[in-house]
Amino acid sequence: MCGINGFNWKDEYIIEKMNSSLRHRGPDDEGIYVDEEVSLGHLRLSIIDLSENGHQPMSDRQDKFFIIYNGEVYNFQALREELELLGYSFKSNTDTEVILYSYMQWKERCLEKFNGMFAFAVYDSESKRLFLARDRMGIKPLYYYFDEKNEVFLFSSEIPPLLEHKIDIEPNKKLIKDYLLYNVSDHTDETFFGGIKKIPKGCYATFDLMRCELEIKEWYNIKYNERFAGTYEEAISTFRDLMVDSVDIRLISDVPVGTCLSGGIDSSSIACLINRKMKIKTFSAVYNGYERDESRYISIVAEKTGMANYRVHPTAEKLREDLFKIIKLIGEPFPSASIYAQNCVQKLAKGNDVTVVLDGQGADELLAGYHYFLGFYLVDLLKTLRLKRFASECYNLIKGKEYMIGIQSSLYLLLPIFIREQIFLRESLLSREMMNGSVATTEYFKNFSDCRSLGQSLEFHLKYRLEQLLKWEDRNSMGNQTESRVPFLDYRIIEFISGLPDDFIIREGRTKALLRDAMIDIVPSEILKRRDKIGYETPDAYWLKTEDFEKLLSDWFLRGEPLCREYIDLKKLRHQIKEHIHKNKNHARNLWKAIFLEAWLKTFFPNRNRM
């Protein structure tokens, strides 16, 4: 896992400054390559082949092609054998060299051969072209800034290195509006910095250095359709085999491996599958006295596997202390304090000499883990007149005593679209200017409203909601010099799940039915029977009532004139602060969004709106 930087002219000083901004991503090695047309930079966190042979930028033997790469391609050994049969010889044992030669052999078609997570750039010094690519689901980030008029093209693994250049940026009102309305941040190729974009997931870009022309093309797109013709039992068997292999190949490493363990089904499944082959360290965030603390479930899995479990206790006081540090690391506003808990877990892993950490990210979006997916499923059953199954699912939901969210989401989806949109507007903190239509919105709500079935809603989540989780995972791991790996997002699993009937995903009132049944006799039954959904949940509402955050809310929003007043209805925000602190009304979601937005503005736009 690494960090990459580059731009389309020669400047050793600036490329080294960009590298300095990314040093947390690569403490083990650093390199640059410059010629008259391009400057490339790389920071290395050594995972495979720890020798100097893995140094980047890496070139072929003729010094024609140069690569800088961030990620892991898990099937690199099989690809290496294929390339060796084609006449290529290797000087290292890295997947970096395999990617370079794969591109030389197959050009952009090489992407279809890779199983892994990646963002890389290849410079062809003869044709004077840059080739940049991201993995299928956007696990690894790649940002760029392109000023066609001034012939400036910059790219990086994170946003702050791009800010080392003198570029004109402003807060992106469109993204801020969607963030305050819909709780999302990475549903488009735009960022919160106007002018800075992402190479979209599942896409590659070519940049002609002579003509200063950028072209972006999609190479992968997921589509849900019920193409699987087997039985449910056959699906269980196939899925289990895929999960076993996905976990196994993500244990390939030349440095110590651990895994996150929240006590939920996803992380517990990974831990128990690892336990078949080896004992590794597990890492958890816990909250003594919090009603949704998962310590009991964590202990069940730790006892079942016999693996050592290390626990961290995030607190409001520590978050207040680290607030600007975490904002600078993530680089954009985020909607919940749970992102900080994830950071604490990665820090705990690094502190216990673990560099590679597996995590269950993506399972909820892939396997309908959020309870509101029940609404999409029930409404589709009703509209398609599958009444017998509708009645059966409703009965099982009620029997399982976890039916309220399913019923509420069903009723919401049956409302006219304009009423659904008004609900979002009414509950948000948007200012009058932001709400009245003068600020454009993205296609997020339209795409959400177009979902007519469980499959379409899962596809929507993979396309428009998953990437923000992957961004937070990437920053929190790399900020602590660890590499996070996500077995549920193996493309073979994604393509298999996307072809299943909806009643293989939600079954007998259970979300993640396929996963629950595939893990029988592997994961403790107490975990498989869980119906609640928690994840990295922190005591958000309580933390806002601590001395540290009461003072922050007062200083920033009650007594001061915040930078975010252009985007937020300050009167409404102040009212919600007083209700939350003094009247026991829970406005935590809105208040945290306001805090993190304000902290982001203070970090990256401190002089905005100052007289």
What whole-number distance in Å separates Cα of residue 302 and Cα of residue 308?
Answer: 7
CA distances from 606 to 257, 575, 599 (A): 40, 25, 9
- Burial of 139-161, coded b for 16+ CB within 10 Å and e otherwise, reads bbbbbbbbeeeeebbbbbbbbbb
Is residue 165 very low, low, confident or very high in pLDDT (cuts 50, 70, 90)? very high
Over residues 112-148, the pLDDT tens digits come to 999 999 999 999 999 999 999 999 999 999 999 999 9
Distance from C-alpha of 562 to C-alpha of 556, rounded to nearest angstrom: 6
Rounded mean pLDDT of the chain?
94
Taking residues 422-436, report their average pLDDT: 90
Burial 342-372 (b: 16+ CB within 10 A, else e): bbbbbbbbbeeebbbbbbbbbbbbbbbbbbb
Give the SS3 label for residue 368: coil
pLDDT at 611: 39
CA-based angle 213:172:596, to the nearest 5?
130
Residue-level pLDDT at 531: 78
Give percent above pLDDT 70 in the chain: 98
pLDDT at 401 over 70: no
Q: How much is the average pLDDT of 98-106?
A: 98
pLDDT band with cut points at 50, 70 and 90 for residue 537: confident
Q: 384: how many CB neighbours lie within 10 A of its CB?
A: 12
Instruction: List pLDDT tens digits, range 207-238.
Output: 999 999 999 999 999 999 888 999 999 999 99
pLDDT at 429: 95
Tell me the pLDDT tens digit for each residue of 354-391: 999 999 999 999 999 998 999 999 999 999 999 999 89
CA 116 to chain CA centroid, Å, is 15
Res 291: pLDDT = 86
Residue 563: what pLDDT? 96
* Other CB atoms within 10 Å distance of the CB of residue 231: 10
- What phi-psi label fits residue 312: left (phi over 0), alpha (psi between -120 and 50 degrees) or beta? beta
d(CA 286, CA 348): 12
Residue 604 has pLDDT above 60, yes or no: yes
CATH architecture of 2-218: 4-Layer Sandwich (3.60)
Which positions are annotated as active-site residues?
Answer: 2
Give residue-wise pLDDT tens across range 266-275. Answer: 999 999 999 9
Find the DSSP H helices in 183-227.
none
What's the pLDDT tens digit per position in 303-328? 999 999 999 999 999 999 999 999 99
Indicate the angle between helix axes 454-464 and 466-478, nearest 10 degrees: 40
**Angle between helices 588-604 and 570-582 in degrees, nearest 10:** 130
Residues of the chain with pLDDT > 90: what percent?
A: 85
What pLDDT score does 289 carry?
Answer: 86
Nearest to 9 by CA among 114, 130, 133: 130
Confidence of residue 436 (pLDDT cuts 50, 70, 90): confident
Structure confidence by residue, pLDDT tens digits, 469-493? 999 999 999 999 999 999 999 999 9
Architecture of domain 232-367+466-528: 3-Layer(aba) Sandwich (3.40)
Give me the sheet containing 39-44, strands edge to edge. Answer: 29-34, 39-44, 2-7, 152-156, 143-147, 196-198
224, amino acid identity: Y
Q: Spell out the domain ranges in the chain.
A: 2-218, 232-367+466-528, 373-422+439-462, 540-604
| pLDDT-based confidence at residue 535 (cuts at 50, 70, 90) | low
